[in-house]
Amino acid sequence: MVNGGSKGGVGTSDANGSRNDLAHQGKKKGRGPTRNLKLAKEFKGGERYEIGWLNRRPVGPHARDLINECTKIVRAQQNVPIKSITKLRVESKSWRQMGSSYSNYRDSLKKKWFKQYGEVTEEARANVPLGLEKDDWNCLVDLWSKQDYMDMCLQNKENRDKNNIVHTSSSKSFQQRSAEEKEKTGHSPSRIELFDITHVQANGQVVNEPTQDALVALRNLTTQVNEGALQISQDQMFVEVFGPERHGRVRGYGARVTPTKLWGSSSSKMYDLEK
């Protein structure tokens, strides 16, 4: 419903009765939420897509279609309410992607509808985003307002700020870039090759000096190995350039790739790389 008022006071009220002032919509209108109409049309015609998987991420020509469909589903709370998704723990690949899409959606809600209020959580609580149920919004505000959650977010931000190596893959996963390279060349890129692919722009340039230094160091080590002047694995090269691997993480393969996934639970390789 449209509320009357002065020119500066026009706004709308959603079904929950919370006011969404146009003042909060100062940014130029961009693309709306994906509806994945192309996929819906092709499914109606009986098309079926095969989705490849690499290190727990969808890859291949139709990976983006799956990601978009998962995003569309998590945005429609009549399918799975947000408070239910927060408690969901499943192991299937498709549901894991659903969880990833949910996390991205939740982050976008926090950035657009919560952060602007700072510590005034009651004002944020009263301004329910369009298309979101009030109970779901209250669930998110409660989560974001918890001290332990805020402490975790602060620590995560500090950790991100320490990382000055910048990739050039945008929203495309490293796994997808790896699959595209295999499709193009006929073989999967090595760890060093994948770092090169995901950190160099189309014009051959990198984003910043630390990334350039790391790239040059990896290339120099590779040259020494190829010439027989050095005997060292690519995993050891990464340790030489970036330092020991952190427990439970493996650099250069993309998000959510773990040592167990790559080398198995009984492998001693990660122990050697963490030294």
At 21-41, the pLDDT tens digits run: 434 444 555 555 555 555 555
Provide the residue ranges of all domains of the chain, joining segments of one domain with +. Answer: 35-162, 174-273
Q: What pLDDT score was predicted for residue 124?
A: 93
Q: What pLDDT score was predicted for residue 37?
A: 56
How far apart are alpha carbons 124 and 201 in whole angstroms?
39
Q: What element of type H or E holds 96?
A: helix 93-113
Q: What pLDDT score was predicted for residue 78?
A: 59
pTM of the model: 0.70
230 band by pLDDT with thresholds 50, 70 and 90: very high
Span 49-58, pLDDT tens digits: 788 998 888 9
> Which of 240, 253, 261, 264 lies closest to 91, judged by CA?
261
Is the sign of the CA dihedral 85, 91, 144, 12 positive or negative?
A: negative
Span 64-116, pLDDT tens digits: 888 888 888 888 765 556 665 555 454 567 777 888 888 888 899 999 999 99
9 band by pLDDT with thresholds 50, 70 and 90: very low
Q: Are 70 and 39 in contact (CB under 8 A)?
A: no
Judged on CB neighbours under 10 Å (0-12, 13-18, 19+), 105 is middle
Q: What pLDDT score was predicted for residue 1?
A: 36
